Amino acid sequence: MIDTVKFLIPIEDSEAFESIKNQLTRTRREKMTTNELKFEYFTEEVEVGSYERAVRIYLKQDSPKGLFVEFSLPKFYYDNNVEMIHAYDVEFILDTLKNDICQFFQEHIPHIEKWIIYRLDLCYNWTFESEQKCQSLMNFIQRIDFPKKKKYVYDTSVMYKGSAYTIKFYLKGAEFKKHDYKDIFEKDKDKADLLLKWAEKVLRFEVEFKKGYLSNLFPHGQVLISSIIYDKIIEDILKKYLALVFRYIDKENMKHEDVRQLINNNFSPAKALRLYQFYKGYYFNEDEKFHIKKGLNPSTIWRYKKDLKSIGVSFEENLGDSNFVAIEELVIPSENTKFDLLDYKHSQYYS
């Protein structure tokens, strides 16, 4: 559930600070005619962890002095971010990172309890039975607008961008294949192929929180590592911001036009017409429903329901018109969530 984190490691020991600074790469720009310094910063890419992942470190020279570190916890721990990190794993992962940084610089740095969070990316995976199912749900989500946020729609994703936080939904398979598959394949072909097979069935929800907004999540002064080590807290935050997206759905309009669009996108014209007529008659007209039950074989009715549900569209009988199953399947926590490769190997989705 926790992906990328940016934090400051405060360093009060001036000798340790200078020692680390002298080991970093300095970048500076001066005006040639006057030798006036335009800017100067110190940075380094440090290979850490058992997968030798490069973590970029920046020196912060004003108060509080220290090191900025920004990296993906799952990539450090698993060498990929198809797998997800529980909040309770954060302390162990950062302790490992701390030891690696100390060893690299040959200097002591403060315990992780003093590290200050500046950025926090949270995520959640839903694993479904097929890539087509994920795409159908993505088609559904892409039609949702989020007031006061800029919406960007792509083939396999949608993003609601804001200055305080940004929300994304995307098909993990496409993202993994584009960014990480090749690197992992070169090290471990079987693992890369297994991850891709899994990722193709994953729809991911992600929220990126900027530093200025973090106090809204954790209203107790500085946000420290201790704030993000409890699964229940992280899960509740994800639930809250997922609900914000779905709160703005106009269910009355979604029922018909959007359902028609989803059906047309996923079936041949003739089958789409049959399914849409069944959908309108069976779920919204009691007289039609009576005639459908009398005139169609029960196996045909079951098949039509299954076809509709496979693309994220159906209604529970006798519960009213607002029970849109696509929303009901995108919940936190969900039985469709798998965290790691071991869990996935033994799940119903691995075949």
**Given this model, what pLDDT does residue 320 score?**
38
Alpha carbon distance 209, 165 (integer Å): 5
Q: Closest Cα to residue 117, out of 44, 217, 205, 25?
A: 217
In this prediction, residue 141 carries a pLDDT of: 87
**Does the pTM of the predicted model rise above 0.85?**
no
- pLDDT value for 140: 80
- Compute the distance between CA of residue 85 and CA of residue 93 in angstroms, rounded to an integer: 10
Cα–Cα separations (whole angstroms), residue 107 to 46, 64, 65, 100, 110: 14, 18, 15, 11, 10
d(CA 59, CA 13) in angstroms, rounded, equals 14
- The values of phi and psi at residue 316, to 5°, are -75, 135
* Number of residues that this document lists for the chain: 351
Q: Where are the domains of the chain?
A: 2-246, 251-323
Amino acid, single-letter form, for residue 229? I
Q: How does pLDDT run along the chain (351 residues), one tens digit per residue?
A: 999 999 999 999 999 999 999 998 888 787 777 777 777 778 888 888 777 778 889 999 888 899 999 999 999 999 999 999 999 999 999 999 999 999 999 989 999 999 999 999 999 999 998 888 888 888 888 878 887 889 999 989 999 999 999 999 999 999 999 989 999 999 899 999 999 999 999 999 999 999 889 988 887 778 999 999 999 999 999 999 999 988 766 555 556 777 788 888 889 999 999 998 998 888 777 788 888 988 899 899 999 988 887 776 655 443 333 335 566 788 899 888 888 887 777 665 555
Taking CA atoms, 185 is separated from 75, 188, 344, in Å, by 15, 5, 19
pLDDT the model gives residue 318: 37
Helix axes 269-284, 286-295, angle to 10 degrees: 120
